[in-house]
A = this chain, B = another copy of it.
Amino acid sequence: MLIDVVPTAKHIGDYDLTAKTAVVFDILRATSTITTALANGCLGVFPVLSVEEARSLAADPKQKIPSANPDVMMLAGERGGQKIPFFPHGNSPLEYTAEVVAGNYLVLTTSNGTRAINGSVRASYVYIGSLLNIRATAVAATGKNKDIVLVCAGTADKFSLEDTLAAGFVIKELLHLKPALSDLATAALHLAHHYSREPVKAFLDSRHGQKLIRLGLQEDINWCARLNVYDFTSRFKNGRIEIDK
């Protein structure tokens, strides 16, 4: 088994995802938020690229869910770490409590994460990764018996420490399978070893983590830094993310 790491959403096209299993990470915060919403009873998440597409789907959810009552589609997103003007919901995992999200769907557009998810569709299977369920995700991803591509969303089209760290945690879980590692996979594994006791330190070392702290979002960071809180996995399939059953 070969494990490779894509450094950013922008560079997905440079990698061959065909017949592989992908795991997508935008740890701060899109994929952590998606995982949290699903854990709290959200029925599915539609990750879309543009603000316009998000608005259109929220206004007319029957495009995707024929039976839906319009009230069940919640409009959410961010650009540059901040809520989109006139969007009722942002990209904080803390917003998506069971009271808010259970029984509803989310349409979400974010700066990097939703691009990375949609860019990974050429893979045979696309898992949504987060530290919150990293072990379950690693185990499920290998269960497909394909090469694995760990897709980091990155920050502003550059390498991000927190996403690469998450990739490293997947690799760390799979070392017993003796996978062949690309150079970036090897570097990611070293990050996972270095930050294994306190992943939150990587977030504090990262430029995007530092930005979120300046925006007053330290609690989001603490939330996203917890390892293996959940046992479920989720997959992106036919345009929506749902818990993998």
Contacts and interface: CB of A to CB of B under 8 A. Distances in A.
Contact of A159 (B160, B183, B190): B183
A184 to B, nearest CB: 4
B158 A186 contact: no
A30 interface: no
A160 B161 CA distance: 16
Interface size class of A (residues with CB under 8 A): 20 to 34
A244 interface: no
A186 B157 contact: no
Nearest to A163: B183
Interface in A125-167: 155, 157-161, 164
B183 A191 contact: no
A160 B207 CA distance: 22
Given A190-B194, A191-B190, A183 B161 contact: yes
A105 B205 CA distance: 44
Contact of A187 (B14, B155, B157, B191): B191
A63 interface: no
Nearest to A162: B183
Contacts of A186: 161, 205-206
A49 to B, nearest CB: 21
A182 interface: yes
Interface of A: 7, 14, 155, 157-161, 164, 182-184, 186-187, 190-191, 194, 205-208
27 contacts: A7-B7, A7-B159, A14-B157, A14-B158, A155-B183, A158-B182, A158-B183, A158-B184, A159-B183, A159-B184, A159-B187, A160-B183, A161-B183, A161-B186, A161-B187, A164-B183, A164-B187, A182-B207, A183-B206, A183-B208, A186-B205, A187-B187, A187-B191, A190-B190, A190-B191, A190-B194, A194-B194
